[in-house]
């Protein structure tokens, strides 16, 4: 990370690079009930404040890995390790402080934008009155403050995705898991959301694990790209993207960006041609 860009007014990345990983996968495998080996022996350390992309063809288990990290479905073997100092919930499990953004906006159509964003707090027993300020603040972060009372159907695809991101952010998670969140959007909207996501990440310093099948998106966003291969789903190579933040629109046309894209693209092709022995 380029320290020179640490701006003055931003309380930047408080626990970044404390040495200890935020979450670790140790030999994680997942076999679906139909016998498919979706994920084989995946090990991965994700450091605090890192922006990591899981990149690979469909069937490489990247979404499966993300869901397992989120606690949606147990791994068949292997473990997920959280730091020992992580907060514990009532039943003694690590309170993972996760925000999850699905490929679809996954909003409740009967609830207004504000009520959708309120949901995670509501499930924790926070009243609407008590949550109002945070709802407004979070909507402001994603540029939707004037749409609090709109219903999802009144919004465009990009705006719905912003609501979905706001909902993931309202609990102030340490770890943001994103499962191809922008795949269904048009390119203009996707680029804009890429930029906005990076700005928010730089400002708040959460850890992001971002699943994508786009080489260009992964290089633009991440510090580190985990290229995965399919059948069975596994980690193929762990790559660094050597380019400083902040990355703005100019970065998309830069030589560094292109070189990185070519390198990652080559690796991805290698991964798609590789068969396990």
Q: Does 141 help bind another protein (rule: CB under 8 A)?
A: yes
Establish if 154 lies at the interface with another protein (CB under 8 A): yes
Tokens of 170: 């309202």
Whichever of 2 and 7 has its CB closer to another protein, that residue is 7
CB 39 within 8 A of CB 28: yes
Handedness of CA 232, 180, 178, 250 (dihedral sign): positive
Cis bond leading into 246, ω under 30°?
A: yes
- State which of residues 85, 188, 253, 277 lies at the interface with another protein (CB under 8 A): 188
Instruction: State the Cα torsion 181-138-73-28 to the nearest 10°.
Output: 70
- CA gap 23, 18 in Å, rounded: 13
Closest contact distance (angstroms) between CB of 24 and another protein is 20
Q: Tell the smallest beta-carbon distance from residue 28 to another protein (Å).
A: 18
Q: Looking at 144-152, 205-213, 218-226, 262-270, which segment touches another protein (CB under 8 A)?
A: 144-152
Q: Per CB under 8 A, which region of 24-32, 80-88, 185-193, 218-226 contacts another protein?
A: 185-193
Contacting residues for 64 by C-beta, under 8 A, at least 6 apart? 30, 38, 39, 73, 233
Provide the minimum distance between the beta carbon of 147 and another protein in the complex, in angstroms, as a whole number.
7
By CB under 8 A, residue 71 contacts another protein: yes
Tokens of 73: 């479905």
Measured from the CB atom, the residue of 9 and 85 that comes closer to another protein is: 9
Number of chain positions touching another protein (CB under 8 A): 45
Q: Which is nearer to another protein, 220 or 236 (CB)?
A: 220
- Find the binder of another protein among 57, 76, 136, 151 (CB under 8 A): 151
159 touches another protein (CB under 8 A): yes
Q: Which of residues 101-140 bind another protein (CB under 8 A)?
A: 102, 104, 106, 108-111, 119-120, 122-124, 140
49-68 positions binding another protein, by CB under 8 A: 67
| Residue closer to another protein, measured from CB, 129 or 275 | 129
Of the CA atoms within 13 Å of residue 39, those in its CB half-sphere come to 28
Among 72, 87, 130, 274, binds another protein (CB under 8 A): 72
Measured in whole angstroms, the distance separating CA 23 from the mean position of its chain's CA atoms is 13
Query: How distant, in Å, are the alpha carbons of 32, 122, 200 from that of 12?
Result: 41, 29, 11
What's the closest the beta carbon of residue 197 comes to another protein, in angstroms? 10
Q: Tell me which residues touch another protein (CB under 8 A).
A: 67, 70-72, 89, 98, 100, 102, 104, 106, 108-111, 119-120, 122-124, 140-143, 145-147, 150-159, 171, 186, 188-189, 192, 195-196, 199-200
């Amino acid at each position: 990370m380029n320290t020179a860009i640490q701006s003055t007014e931003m309380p930047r990345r408080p626990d970044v690079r404390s040495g200890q990983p935020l979450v670790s996968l140790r030999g994680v495998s997942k076999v679906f009930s139909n016998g498919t080996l979706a994920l084989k022996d995946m090990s991965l350390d994700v450091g605090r404040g890192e922006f990591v992309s899981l990149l690979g063809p469909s069937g490489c288990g990247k979404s499966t890995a993300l869901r397992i990290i989120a606690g949606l479905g147990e791994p068949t073997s292997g473990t997920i390790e959280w730091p020992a100092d992580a907060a514990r919930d009532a039943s003694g499990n690590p309170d993972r402080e996760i925000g999850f953004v699905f490929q679809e906006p996954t909003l409740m159509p009967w609830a207004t934008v504000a009520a959708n964003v309120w949901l995670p707090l509501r499930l924790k027993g926070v009243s609407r009155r008590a949550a109002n300020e945070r709802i407004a603040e979070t909507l402001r972060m994603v540029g939707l403050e004037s749409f609090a009372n709109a219903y999802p159907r009144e919004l465009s695809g990009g705006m719905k995705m912003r609501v979905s991101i706001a909902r993931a952010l309202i609990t102030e998670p340490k770890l943001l898991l994103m499962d191809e969140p922008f795949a269904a959007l048009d390119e203009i909207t996707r680029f804009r959301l890429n930029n906005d996501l990076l700005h928010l990440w730089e400002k708040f310093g959460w850890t992001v694990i971002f699943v994508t099948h786009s080489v260009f998106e992964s290089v633009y966003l991440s510090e580190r790209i985990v290229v995965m291969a399919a059948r069975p789903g596994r980690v193929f190579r762990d790559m660094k993207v050597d380019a400083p933040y902040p990355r703005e629109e100019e970065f998309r046309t830069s030589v560094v960006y292109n070189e990185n894209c070519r390198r990652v693209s080559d690796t991805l092709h290698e991964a798609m041609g590789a068969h396990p022995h």
